[in-house]
């Protein structure tokens, strides 16, 4: 596993999170949610520490992290881009929009640009189907996006 | 409590929030203050009105004027014209696209006329962050009635009489489920609310939690009393931050009012609710997988029996119901089982909420009595197909459902009819498709989803769906042989028969239903190498009609890969070896000179 040093202060914070959930292995998913908020992602070191604190194997933690799509082991870009690929967005042309993002950013889905500015991912339905196709960048939601708009949207960042 | 003469209801559901409804609220408040009306008029953020197509929606009460596509800049005019001068702002009213008539009261809109709102009774009506507004609409009186007047058995009988069936998709009778859990002997039992709405294109549960969270909490407490549980757990998707926030507020308020916690209504009944977060796994909608996920494990399903009603969360008897099912409970308790069972069809009672989306004019959230036809939903409520195109199919039941066609339009919607037609109710997603949608690609799209979401525990689902997806890929690339269609159907049937849980057992449905209903389209891909809908890129190419092209150069300028060449004012041509088939040129051409073949 890659060696990323977690700063001492954050280690304490992570221990604190585990403690808040009574170091209960049944709360693993809640712990992981909080840890991901703290670190932005879940690198191996974080998983090892959580395993130790909750008294379960690292394999068990890793198994849970990789099972759920919400958890990521890679850092996201400063502006995470998500393209909604729910059915409603799909039939209204989300695929073309995704292709355009991929072409302009030169990354695949799940990757981050070299400068760490953008990361690209797909998600299933944000529930704003009236605005399909929908793209979210950080907290901002873009509705009725067409492939031509992509360049302009990226230009805002 | 302060009394207000008028209320301005602003939809604050996720869809409308994405279109700046917060700014609208701020600007409205500012305009009211500037005009000295802030003591007389109250601005209320409500849950979803359902009419997402024309959001953000603003409704004036008491005169029920319904404004659509409001922007923050319109706030001042709404206050000055509507409230002060008493004149409606015509440009923001809904216009019936067929008759061009202006409709100011939502009651007269085609979208709302055929709807009956039971589960959504408070959505778009009350402020979901204020428990008093819920109580003012008979909130928590069903809980009071059950606790004070009924035994658990009597209350369960009301639910059984109502004929309510699980709204998460399975359609299992709710009253029976409660009775089974009641009969399981145990010191500790649990009530679980399944809010892991994973169907892409479905947002019923989210809207209920965002618009009326107390109705779910009240129903969970009623369920707790009926089955003998003192703890409720809501398993909700982490992707629904607004619903989570409103649910948390609702739980806090209910505790403050003593409607959750110890000794509720002085009857000695204890009940409290906690939230558990999902983490993005579709299979967790399946109740055994959901329970494992709540226990901090991978969300893999296990074989039933034992059913959760016997052994569920932490090995204790657990009753799992979906959000919409719970939202139906309080009105049933208050109005009686007979009232509820008078609505709907013989075997499916009450109403169903659908998230209507896709190529339909009025995208939104609707609630109709069981037995309403697909035609009524798509054409009367949905306002027909976008852009005057031709209706082709409607997909119900999400990745587990199927595509229905023109000839199914007049079937009354209920659990059994949908299954008989090769689809299913599912949780209520309804995606409309038009003539431009390729059914093979649609089936492939759903398989992509299933392959990604398969938990990998059983081989038919893990390997079979992958192979199924590859075969569909081959068809859309024009590389399939005739025998492949037979193999496709055989494999689909094997997966259906041998998978462990509901996900695998239903995942081939999109393939089988499109093969049944759109066989000619599959044949066209395989035999003629053509995609009739013009969507499969490998099977088409763009050409410029030299008689129609005037050489305006617009297409060559928009082409991202410089595949179009030609001198100014002379016909252009596309180099098909370079063309990436993005279609940008065709969209830009003003002379209709570019077509797909």
- CATH label of the domain that carries residue B549: 3.30.70.20
Task: Looking at the structure, tell me whether residues A60 and A84 fall in a common domain.
Answer: no
Whole-number Å distance between alpha carbons of B50 and B357: 11
A3: in domain: no
Spell A29-47 as b/e; 16+ CB within 10 A means b.
bbbbbbbbeebeebbbbbb
Spell B481-514 as b/e; 16+ CB within 10 A means b.
eeebbeebbebbeebbeebbbbbbbbbbbbbbbb
Q: Which of residues 227-246 of B touch A (CB under 8 A)?
A: 238-240
Residues ≥6 apart with Cβ < 8 Å to B552: B590, B591
Task: Looking at the structure, tell me whether residues B158 and B268 fall in a common domain.
Answer: yes
Task: Looking at the structure, tell me whether residues B263 and B135 fall in a common domain.
Answer: yes
pLDDT at A1: 45
Facing B431 at nearest CB: one of A26, A85, A91: A91
A26 to chain B, closest Cα gap in Å: 5
Whole-number Å distance between alpha carbons of B555 and B15: 35
Q: In angstroms, what CA-CA distances link B144 with B138, B189, B323, B335, B557? A: 10, 21, 21, 14, 69
In this complex, do A27 and B198 lie within 8 Å of one another by their Cβ atoms?
no
Task: Looking at the structure, tell me whether residues A100 and A144 fall in a common domain.
Answer: yes
Nearest chain A alpha carbon to B206 = A127
List CB contacts (< 8 A) between B584 and chain A.
147-148
Of the candidates B124, B153, B118, the one whose C-alpha atom is nearest the C-alpha of residue B138 is B118
List CB contacts (< 8 A) between B398 and chain A.
87
pLDDT at B560: 84
Q: Residue B213: which domain range?
A: 131-341
The predicted model scores a pTM of 0.90
List CB contacts (< 8 A) between B359 and chain A.
91-92
Nearest chain B alpha carbon to A103 = B560
List CB contacts (< 8 A) between A131 and chain B.
15, 18-19, 52, 55
Facing B52 at nearest CB: one of A32, A92, A130: A130
In this complex, do B583 and A96 lie within 8 Å of one another by their Cβ atoms?
yes
List CB contacts (< 8 A) between B358 and chain A.
87-88, 91-92
Task: Looking at the structure, tell me whether residues B207 and B309 fall in a common domain.
Answer: yes
Looking at the predicted structure, is the pLDDT value of residue A2 above 60? Answer: no
Please give the radius of gyration of chain B, using alpha carbons only, rounded to the nearest integer. 26
Q: Residue A83: which domain range?
A: 79-155
Task: Looking at the structure, tell me whether residues B396 and B515 fall in a common domain.
Answer: no
Facing B201 at nearest CB: one of A25, A69, A87: A87
In this complex, do A69 and B437 lie within 8 Å of one another by their Cβ atoms?
no
Whole-number Å distance between alpha carbons of B311 and A69: 28
Facing A129 at nearest CB: one of B52, B446, B452: B52
B164: in domain: yes
Facing A147 at nearest CB: one of B15, B200, B582: B582
List CB contacts (< 8 A) between B279 and chain A.
29, 32-33, 68-71
Residue A77 carries which DSSP code?
A: P
- Token digits of residue B332: 């049933």
- Token digits of residue B519: 């066989």
Whole-number Å distance between alpha carbons of A144 and A132: 5
Q: In angstroms, what CA-CA distances link B537 with A74, A89, B385, B530? A: 33, 19, 24, 10
Q: How many domains does chain A have?
A: 2
Whole-number Å distance between alpha carbons of B231 and B228: 9
Whole-number Å distance between alpha carbons of B369 and B381: 13
pLDDT at A3: 55
Task: Looking at the structure, tell me whether residues A146 and A95 fall in a common domain.
Answer: yes
For residue A142, give the CATH number of its domain. Answer: 3.40.30.10
Q: Counting Cβ atoms within 10 Å, is residue A12 exposed (0-12), middle (13-18) or buried (19+)?
A: exposed
End-to-end CA distance of chain A: give it in Å, rounded: 33
In this complex, do A87 and B398 lie within 8 Å of one another by their Cβ atoms?
yes
**Size of chain B in residues:** 597
Task: Looking at the structure, tell me whether residues B358 and B321 fall in a common domain.
Answer: no
Asked if B383 and B432 touch (Cβ cutoff 8 Å), the reply is no
Which strands sit side by side in the sheet containing B429-434, from one edge to the other?
B364-369, B351-358, B429-434, B391-396, B402-405
Nearest chain A alpha carbon to B357 = A88
Low-confidence ranges of chain B (pLDDT < 70): 1-2
Task: Looking at the structure, tell me whether residues B17 and B84 fall in a common domain.
Answer: yes
Task: Looking at the structure, tell me whether residues A143 and A83 fall in a common domain.
Answer: yes
Whole-number Å distance between alpha carbons of A34 and B538: 45
Asked if A122 and A98 touch (Cβ cutoff 8 Å), the reply is yes
Asked if A10 and A38 touch (Cβ cutoff 8 Å), the reply is yes
- Please give the full DSSP string across B250-302, using - where no structure is assigned: HHHHHHHTTSSEEEETTTTEEEEEEEEE--S-GGGGSHHHHHHHHTTS-----
Task: Looking at the structure, tell me whether residues B453 and B412 fall in a common domain.
Answer: no
Residues ≥6 apart with Cβ < 8 Å to B551: B566, B567, B568, B569, B570, B571, B572
List CB contacts (< 8 A) between A92 and chain B.
358-359
Residue with tokens 């339909």: B360
Phi then psi for B369, rounded to 5 degrees?
A: -65, 145
For residue B394, give the CATH number of its domain. Answer: 3.10.20.600
Q: Which residue has the higher pLDDT, A124 or A24?
A: A24
A56: in domain: yes
Residue B460 carries which DSSP code?
A: I
Q: Which of residues 283-312 of B touch A (CB under 8 A)?
A: 293-299
List CB contacts (< 8 A) between B293 and chain A.
29
Q: Between A and B, how many CB-CB pairs are < 8 A?
A: 131
Task: Looking at the structure, tell me whether residues A37 and A89 fall in a common domain.
Answer: no
pLDDT at B561: 87
Q: Counting Cβ atoms within 10 Å, is residue B590 exposed (0-12), middle (13-18) or buried (19+)?
A: exposed
């Amino acid at each position: 596993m890659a060696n990323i040093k977690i700063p001492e202060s954050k280690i304490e914070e992570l221990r604190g999170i585990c403690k808040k959930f009574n170091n209960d292995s049944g709360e693993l998913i809640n712990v992981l949610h909080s840890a991901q908020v703290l670190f932005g992602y879940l690198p191996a070191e974080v998983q090892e520490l959580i395993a130790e604190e909750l008294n379960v194997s690292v394999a068990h933690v890793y198994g849970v992290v990789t099972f759920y799509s919400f958890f990521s082991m890679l850092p996201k870009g400063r502006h995470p881009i998500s393209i909604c690929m729910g059915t409603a967005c799909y039939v209204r042309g989300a695929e073309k929009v995704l292709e355009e993002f991929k072409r302009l950013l030169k990354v695949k889905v799940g990757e981050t640009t070299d400068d760490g500015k953008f990361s690209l991912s797909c998600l299933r339905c944000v529930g704003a189907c009236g605005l399909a196709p929908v793209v979210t960048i950080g907290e901002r939601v873009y509705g009725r996006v067409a492939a031509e708009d992509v360049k302009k949207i990226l230009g805002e960042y | 409590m302060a009394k207000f003469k008028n209320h301005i209801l602003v939809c604050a559901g996720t869809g409308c929030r994405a279109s700046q409804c917060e700014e609208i609220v701020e600007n409205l408040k500012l305009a009211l203050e500037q005009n000295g009306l802030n003591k007389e008029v109250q601005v209320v953020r409500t849950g979803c009105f359902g009419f997402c197509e024309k959001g953000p929606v603003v409704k004036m009460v008491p005169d029920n004027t319904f404004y659509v596509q409001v922007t923050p800049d319109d706030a001042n005019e709404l206050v000055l014209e509507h409230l002060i001068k008493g004149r409606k702002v015509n440009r923001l009213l809904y216009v019936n696209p067929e008759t061009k008539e202006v409709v100011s009261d939502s009651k007269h809109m085609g979208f709302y006329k055929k709807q009956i709102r039971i589960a959504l009774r408070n959505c778009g009506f009350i402020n979901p962050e204020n428990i008093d507004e819920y109580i003012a609409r008979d909130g928590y009186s069903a809980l009071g009635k059950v606790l004070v007047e009924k035994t658990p058995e009597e209350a369960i009988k009301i639910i059984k009489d109502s004929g309510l069936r699980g709204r998460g998709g399975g359609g299992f009778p709710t009253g029976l489920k409660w009775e089974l859990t009641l009969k399981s002997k145990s010191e500790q039992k649990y009530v679980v609310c399944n809010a892991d709405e994973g169907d892409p294109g479905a947002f019923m549960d989210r809207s209920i939690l965002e618009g009326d969270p107390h109705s779910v909490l009240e129903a969970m407490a009623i369920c707790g009393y009926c089955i003998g549980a003192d703890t409720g757990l809501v398993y909700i998707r982490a992707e629904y931050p607004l619903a989570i926030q409103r649910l948390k507020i609702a739980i806090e308020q209910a505790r403050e009012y003593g409607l959750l916690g110890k000794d509720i209504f002085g009857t000695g009944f204890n009940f409290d609710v906690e939230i558990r977060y999902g983490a993005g796994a579709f299979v967790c909608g399946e109740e055994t997988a959901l329970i494992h996920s709540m226990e901090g494990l991978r969300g893999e399903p296990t074989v039933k029996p034992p059913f959760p009603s016997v052994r569920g969360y932490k090995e204790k008897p657990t009753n799992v119901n979906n959000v919409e099912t719970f939202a139906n409970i309080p009105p049933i308790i208050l109005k009686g089982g007979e009232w509820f069972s008078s609505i709907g069809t013989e075997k499916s009672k009450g109403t169903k909420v659908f998230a209507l989306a896709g190529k339909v004019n009025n995208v939104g959230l609707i609630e109709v009595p069981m037995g309403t036809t697909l035609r009524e939903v798509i054409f009367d409520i949905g306002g027909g197909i976008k852009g005057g195109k031709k209706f082709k199919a409607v997909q119900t039941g999400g990745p587990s459902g199927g595509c229905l066609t023109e000839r199914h339009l007049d079937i009354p919607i209920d659990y059994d009819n949908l299954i008989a037609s090769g689809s299913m109710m599912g949780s209520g997603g309804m995606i409309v498709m038009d003539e431009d949608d390729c059914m093979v690609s649609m089936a492939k799209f759903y398989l992509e989803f299933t392959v990604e979401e398969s938990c990998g525990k059983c081989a038919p689902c893990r390997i079979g769906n992958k192979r199924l997806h590859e075969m569909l890929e081959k068809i859309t690339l024009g590389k399939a042989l005739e025998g492949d269609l037979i193999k496709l159907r055989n494999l689909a049937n094997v997966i259906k028969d041998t998978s462990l849980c509901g996900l695998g057992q239903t995942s081939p449905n999109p393939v089988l239903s499109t093969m049944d209903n759109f066989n000619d389209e599959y044949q066209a891909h395989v035999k003629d190498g053509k995609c009739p809908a013009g969507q499969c890129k490998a099977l088409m190419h763009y050409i410029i009609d030299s008689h129609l092209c005037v050489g305006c150069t617009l297409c060559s300028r928009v082409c991202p890969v410089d595949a179009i060449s030609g001198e100014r004012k002379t016909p252009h041509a596309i180099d098909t070896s370079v063309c990436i088939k993005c279609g940008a040129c065709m969209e830009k051409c003003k002379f209709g000179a570019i077509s797909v073949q």
